[in-house]
Amino acid sequence: MQTSLIDIRSQFDKDLSTTKTAAEVEALKIKFLGKKGLIQDLMKGLKEVDPAERPARGKEINDLKETITRQIDELFLSQSSSELKERLAREDIDTSLPGRRRFLGKKHLISQVVDEMLQILGKMGFSVQVGPDIDSEFYNFEALNMGPDHPARDMQDTFYIADQVLLRTHTSNVQVRVMESQRPPIRVVSPGKAFRNEDISARSHVFFHQLEAFYVDKNVTFGDLLATLEQFFKQLFHPDVQIRVRPSYFPFVEPGMEVDINCISCKGAGCSLCKQTGWLEVAGAGMVHPEVLRFGGVDPEEYTGFAWGMGIDRMVMLKYGITDIRMFTENDIRFLEQFA
């Protein structure tokens, strides 16, 4: 027997008045609007209704369904808002407190400056090529004209990993690798880590960063080297920067030299940063030694080249007035976030 519309309506009103919790609302919804609910029963009963009355009866059922749906929705809404109010009162949230700050990761200062250096050299036509941190004695020493008895190969300064395998002591280890893999003209810049067994202090570390720039072609001259260095340091520090070179010895260049720039802090007048000399040492450089070109399979009768290498950490320290190299590896967020 089919329950009448009026009965269902009054049944619903009665149930609604006693419905309180979320679970009860759900049960009410299933009882009246579910697939096997009372409204559905009414729909099924339509078959037995006189066809002439069916449309009117169908409309009545639909109206009832809509009313019930709306009332259940309203109950649901008022119930969740009262639950929310209760929860807010219970949890006692202080809405005047400042929000939590979200920390976004940033590039490390060293990486930022490396990017800048690569950009400057990129515009001059140098492309980036990185060498391995772990390398053989051959590429780190031998091929750079540092034979077995060379003092730079002292075990005390170099971290050996196995026989003839070491942590590279400089980024110059890329030079011969690059020449082996490509023919001149070669214009390569190579940033990376270098390792030396030194006492850790404010000024030196066992692990630091270097950048090597390397150019091999026909007719590359000492003048090209000077002009490139000057342009590079002007763009990195200041358009008024001047460079000065002093003869020095590195086995893989001839002639070799030390490069200074006039002190960026006192502009050459003399201060504590430049130890009153007015100059800061910034790089080692020179014309690639014929022996090194030969190791790379490049004919020194036909080609010449220049190379320079420099400590990146020191450049960053000068540029930003940082006085302790250890700051770079301590990962103190108070230091790092100053260079966002």
Per CB under 6 A, residues contacting ligand DAH are 170, 172, 212, 250, 253, 256, 284-286, 307-309
Q: Which of 133, 214, 198 is nearest to 167 (CA)?
A: 133
Name which of 28 and 259 has its Cβ closer to ligand DAH.
259
Query: At its nearest, how many Å lie between ligand DAH and the CB of residue 162?
Result: 22
DSSP secondary structure string for all residues of 122-185: HHTT-EE----SEEEHHHHTGGGT--TT-GGG-TTTS-EEETTEEE-SSGGGHHHHHHHH-PSS
Kindly state the tokens that stand for 152.
């730079």
Query: At its nearest, how many Å lie between ligand DAH and the CB of residue 219?
Result: 19
The owner of tokens 């929860």 is 87
Query: At its nearest, how many Å lie between ligand DAH and the CB of residue 105?
Result: 31
Residues whose CB falls within 8 Å of the CB of residue 147, separated by 6 or more in sequence, listed in order: 141
What is the spatial distance between Cα 301 and Cα 290, in angstroms, rounded to a whole number?
Answer: 8
Name which of 76 and 222 has its Cβ closer to ligand DAH.
222
The conformation of residue 200, written as its DSSP 8-state character, comes to: -
Query: At its nearest, how many Å lie between ligand DAH and the CB of residue 95?
Result: 58
What is the spatial distance between Cα 158 and Cα 168, in angstroms, rounded to a whole number?
Answer: 8
Query: At its nearest, how many Å lie between ligand DAH and the CB of residue 154?
Result: 14
As beta bridge partners, residue 283 has 259
Name which of 250 and 303 has its Cβ closer to ligand DAH.
250
What is the spatial distance between Cα 73 and Cα 2, in angstroms, rounded to a whole number?
Answer: 26
Name which of 24 and 198 has its Cβ closer to ligand DAH.
198
Query: At its nearest, how many Å lie between ligand DAH and the CB of residue 195?
Result: 11
Name which of 24 and 291 has its Cβ closer to ligand DAH.
291
Strands (DSSP E) found in 268-334: 279-288, 304-311
Name which of 310 and 322 has its Cβ closer to ligand DAH.
310
Kindly state the tokens that stand for 58.
């169908």
